[in-house]
Amino acid sequence: MNDGRGRDPDCRRCRHLQITWQPERPYGCRAFGFRSKRLPALEVRLASGTPCLRFVARVREGASGEGGGKT
């Protein structure tokens, strides 16, 4: 979730970000269902005046520290 400080969340860390094959609209948001030339959080800020409220941090596999890592 957003930390409440008024900054836009980092779309690159959000599970809803998608990278499209369209050069004119390379970024997309699965949560809101749109594609854009700019990062989705910026589009949301410009359209609504508020930070994106649909941000969900992406969890990387192996981030829990269990198995597969060197000791």
Q: Where are the domains of the chain?
A: 1-59
Query: What's the pLDDT at 68?
Result: 53
Neighbours of 4 (CB within 10 A): 7
Separation CA 9–CA 21 (nearest Å): 23
User: What string of pLDDT tens digits covers the 71 residues of the chain?
Assistant: 444 456 889 999 999 999 999 999 999 999 999 999 999 999 999 999 999 999 999 998 775 655 555 55
Radius of gyration over every alpha carbon of the chain, rounded to an integer in angstroms:
15
Beta carbons within 8 Å of 40's beta carbon, 6+ residues apart: 11, 16, 17, 27, 28, 29, 32, 34, 52
